[in-house]
Amino acid sequence: MTDLVIRTLDESSAHLFRTMPDPLALADRHRLVRYRSDWQRIALRDGRTVARAAWWARPEDPEPLLINWLDVAEGEEEAGAELLRSAPWQTPELELDLPPGWREDPLLRAAVDSRAAVARMAGYTPLVERFIYRWTPDCGLPERPGRLVFTAEPDDAVFYGLLRRINSATLDAHARRAVAEGGVDHAAQEDLDVFHWFPSPRSWWQIARTPAGDPVGIHIPARNPSGPCVGFIGVVPEHRGHGYAYDLLVECTHFLAGQDAEFIGAATDQDNFPMAAHFARAGYPVTRERVNYRLDGTGTA
């Protein structure tokens, strides 16, 4: 086997990234994503691209936050792993986006298995599998239940306190990982940092309260670099069991629709059955699936 050549692309060579088959339809999935050419890398053997990966963040961020595009040719798993291992950025997370029902298609299953092998060989372990949603106006606006009062809150400390309570008992794998690493304070601050990272107005953040004024939870309508999204939905433990997460999701949808959103992206862990049921009830179709991997070894094999 001939030697492997790994290169980071630039504007003049960015077209080389598209010189591989795309069995997982990642080009379609990421058609709205803006990639910096110098955050894209390919591995070549005999002049043929045998592996590729793209790192992602906002264009103005100094370094990428995660890997969200990974492809490898059959039998070139080691080349793909070396492509990741030799990168100048050791990003902690890798996202593998997948077509719905990929396990039932032998060809898709084989493509996923080879990419999963690359991730493991490069030191990434599975953290969680997620559903990816995309609401459009054709889905219809769900009716507001009208049980809660939603208001803006300018004080980050109020959100921080509610996030501590929400993350003290949560089904979200990322939050559980953050709690395991540094406790509920760390998890709450990590969420706040993400909220501030969104390039959408801080004034969009909202707290949900009962008519009597008791805080129930928060929802974060947001825009990420790809467009409008449900940034966060969370209910404090003492108010769970009443389906309030649905009320928050509906309000978040109405808020973003009121901002003329042509679509709304969202995601939830596949084993968060209550939240998945709320998305289905609110008319959010599953458009993709995703496996999140962590480099730090806090995932589960």
pLDDT digits (tens, 9 = 90+) for 181-223: 999 999 999 999 999 999 999 999 999 999 999 999 999 999 9
**Model pTM score:** 0.93
pLDDT at 33: 85
Pairing mode, strands 66-72 and 125-135: unpaired
Q: Exposed, middle or buried: residue 16 (CB in 10 Å: 0-12, 13-18, 19+)?
A: middle
pLDDT digits (tens, 9 = 90+) for 132-190: 999 999 999 999 999 999 999 999 999 999 999 999 999 999 999 999 999 999 999 99
Whether residue 298 is predicted with pLDDT greater than 60 in this model: the reply is: no
pLDDT at 1: 63
Q: Are 162 and 217 in contact (CB under 8 A)?
A: yes
Show the DSSP H helices in 122-268 as ranges: 156-167, 173-197, 244-258
Q: What is the mean pLDDT of residues 257-261?
A: 97
pLDDT digits (tens, 9 = 90+) for 55-69: 999 888 999 999 999
In Å, what is the CA distance from 278 to each residue of 104, 237, 242?
Answer: 25, 17, 12
Q: What is the mean pLDDT of residues 127-135?
A: 98
CA-closest candidate to residue 128, choices 270, 296, 230: 270
Sorted by where each starts, the structural domains of the chain and their CATH numbers stand as 5-123 (3.40.630), 138-294 (3.40.630.30)
Strand, helix or coil for residue 5: strand
